Structures are given as C-alpha cells and as structure tokens.
Amino acid sequence: MRGILMLALAVLVAAETRYDGFKVLRIEPLEILDSTWLSDIESKVEFWSNVPGRPVDIMVPPELEDEIVSFLRSKKLDFSLMIGDVQAVIDGQRSTMRSRTRTQGLADFKYDQYNTYDQINQWVSDMATEHSDVVTKFTVTQSYEKRLIDGIKISTGGNNKPVIWFEGGIHAREWISPATVMLISKFLVEDLKNSDPQVVQLVNYFDFYIVPSLNVDGYAFTWSDDRLWRKTRRPNPGYGCIGTDPNRNWPYKWGGSGTSPWPCSITYHGGKALSEVEVKGVVDFLTNLSVGNEIRMFIDWHSYSQLWMAPWSFSSSEQNPVDWLDQSNLGQAAVQALEEVHGTTFVSGMSAKLLYEASGASCDWGYAVLGAKYSYVVELRDKGNYGFLLPEDQIMASGEEAYKATLAAVEYAMNN
C-alpha cells in the first residue's frame, strides 16, 4: 500500500499535505477488460474513477511514475495524461480563494464560488432568517470534532407530508456537491416565492430536508490541510491513519464488497456499522423523522462521473429491487431534464453496475431500511477533465442542470 500509505502518513507529519509532481493518468478500457491488472496496482496508486466501460483514472505519486507507466505499457493499456501536476491545480485554485473577503449575508453570498464550512453554516442560518415563511433550520447532529451539521427544511406547512431528503458532501473532497445542493435550494426557494406553478405544487405536496455538507470535519480539513481528503476525521486507535469512509459505514450490508477492513484505506468501512457519529446522526434523525412521515426520496450527491444511480450498491448480481421500474423511469426523466439545460450527459442505472460495488452505502440503506422508494446516489460533473478539482466556473451550470433534474425527479415521485 505504498502510494496510499504515504498519503496517510503525510497527514500526520505535515501541516498541509501536498501533491507536488502527482499525476492523474487516464487509462482507456480494453474491449474486454481483464480487470486483474487493477489489483496489481491498487496498492500503489489512488483510483479516482473506475467506472465499467469507461476510462479508469488513477493518481500516481512521482516516485512510482516510471514503474506504473512501464506496467501499463507491459499490459498494452492505452493511457493519457489527465492532470500533469495535481498540486499546481490545487495551488491555482487556492490563490484565487485566499484573496477573497468573507460574505456578509445572504444577499452577498457567492454561489459561483466554493465556500468554507463556516460560510456554508452561516448560509443555512441566513436562509432560515431571510425566508422564515418557508425555510427553517434544523441540526442533524454534532461531528466528531464538535461541528454542527445543519440543514434547512423548505415547506409551506401542513402535517405528515411526504419527505424529500438531500445530503451533500459525504465525501469531503467533492466540493461541487455542497455547492450544487445549495444552488438547488436557492432556486427552489426563489421559484416558490415567485409562485412558479410547478414548484408551488411540489412544495405543497412535499417537505424538503436539505443538508449541504454532511462530512463537515473532513470538508474543513480539505480547506486547511489536505484538499483531497475523503474520509471522516475520527482517529483509528492502534493505527497511524485517521478516518472512515462515511459512505461505507451505513447499517445495511455493511462490511461487504467494495470496502476495506484496513483503516488506512480510503474505503475503510469502520470498526462497525455506524461507528462514525456523522452517519449515526443522520440515521437517527431520519429514523425519527420517518415516524409519521413517509420518506419518499433520498439523494446523496457526489462527484464525479455524471451518473444517476439507484440501488443496489452492495452487489452487481443482486436481483433488481421490487421498485426498479419506477426507480429507473425516474432516473431517465431526471437525466433527460438535466441534459436539456446545458447538454451535459448523465447515465442512469443501478449503482453497482454503473460504478462499482460498495457495501454499507447510503442509498441502499435509504431504500431497504428507511423505506424511501426513490433512493439514489448522484455523481455530478465531470467525466474526468478535472475530477475532484472541478473549476469554479462550472458551479453555476452544475447547479442549474441539477435543479432541473431535481424538479423532474420530484414530480415523477409525486405522481408515482
């Protein structure tokens, strides 16, 4: 695990983890991909994207570049350079961010920029204050490092209405996720107050619960120490590695395929299901909310790969869910509406078949345990030009297209 272990140890010995000389290579899949080569290098590189039938993106440490390149050539795998210097991209983005002044209120909030944890939480409070007739603030729980995980409820009142649940930022480095979730919220509230007929109908029918940033400790850490940090920040006793993958920690099919028992792995599933207070907090919150309220839709927003995915995540060979036809139809309606905005193409389907197997994932729990008929994980922009380092000039477009997809999805869920 030399490549990944080096990254884990760097967090412990340096104020800021740097990726000088790290490259991201894009490997073109073979017609019939012999996947055994993946296991030959998985301990030396970090896989950014590994979608069946699509190019595989790997981040390579500089000291292993020659070895990895030689290996790929020996396997006759075509590859290209996706990012020539990861740190240079990070530095370029950070230089712009450091020169900014903090926003002073909702009217001054910059939706076309990435925002810190403090700015996001202030946005939650400001939304509830500015739009108190339709928006209220709620707290899911406290994180391991005692940060509040807050969200907004968008509602026109009434009791026992079906619930739409959106959560962003479960993987810390996926900055486009909280940014997009906040834009969806902004557009929804604005259209509601402007009496848009479709939105008024949807919000009269549903209550929307929206959490922009779930893995708040990890997200704060991506701003202060390691831009590519993915996991939570709870130490693992007895190991020199910190954090658990919060999207492998949910209490349904926990610990199975697509997870790791090794605490230094980026897909470490934790010592037990719900070991992470952030995940346990969401599970407890939604379990309590589901008493007397039907949770109709559950969406966990991620990046990247441009996919709209339904259960199952834990197994690609599992029989389709009993609600698969409706789940699939909603996904198709969502990606079609999304494409109509900016021409961005998403693919919908079953998570384990479109992406990879991932046991203990949120959308499986949302469907199988919580009972949300329409439970999804959505991978936002892009398909690999920038990966987790999506430029800010794509934020608004991502939010605009995701909002139109949301309206199509929620309308389908209302009618079916």
- 307: closest CA among 271, 331, 324, 341? 331
Give span(s): CATH 3.40.630.10, the chain.
108-225+251-415
Give span(s): CATH 3.30.70.340, the chain.
2-96
Residue 318 to residue 136: CA distance in whole angstroms: 40
Run of H or E residues at 412:
helix 395-415
- Please name the residue ranges forming H helices in 242-384: 277-289, 324-342, 351-354, 362-368
Please tell me the predicted confidence (pLDDT) of residue 7. 45
Please tell me the predicted confidence (pLDDT) of residue 51. 79
Q: What are 44-47's contacts with CB under 8 Å, separation 24+?
A: 44/1, 44/2, 44/3, 44/68, 45/3, 46/3, 46/4, 46/7, 46/266
Residue 305 to residue 387: CA distance in whole angstroms: 8
Written as six digits, the tokens of 217 are 């400790």
Q: How far is CA 376 from the centre of its chain?
A: 11
415 contacts 326 by C-beta, under 8 angstroms: no
Residue 358 to residue 248: CA distance in whole angstroms: 7
Q: What CATH number matches the domain at 2-96, 3.30.70.340, 3.20.20.100, 3.40.640.10, 3.90.1300.10?
A: 3.30.70.340
pLDDT, mean over the chain = 93
Q: Are strands 163-168 and 207-211 parallel, antiparallel or unpaired?
A: parallel
* Architecture of the domain whose range is 108-225+251-415: 3-Layer(aba) Sandwich (3.40)
Enter the DSSP assignment of 113. Answer: S
- Positions in the chain whose pLDDT score sits under 70: 1-15, 30-36, 99, 102-103
Q: What are 123-127's contacts with CB under 8 Å, separation 24+?
A: 123/182, 123/212, 124/150, 124/151, 124/152, 124/212, 125/150, 127/152, 127/185, 127/189
- 313: closest CA among 170, 211, 178? 170
Please tell me the predicted confidence (pLDDT) of residue 35. 62
- Percentage of the chain modeled with pLDDT above 70: 94
CA angle 201, 206, 209 (to 5 degrees): 130
- Work out the number of other CB atoms within 10 angstroms of the CB of residue 198: 12
Residue 177 to residue 180: CA distance in whole angstroms: 5
Q: Check: pTM over 0.85? Answer yes or no.
A: yes
3-state secondary structure of 415: helix
Read off the pLDDT of residues 170-227 as tens digits, 9 standing for 90 and up.
999 999 999 999 999 999 999 999 999 999 999 999 999 999 999 999 999 999 999 9
Please tell me the predicted confidence (pLDDT) of residue 77. 87
Q: Which residues are catalytic?
A: 379
Please tell me the predicted confidence (pLDDT) of residue 12. 39
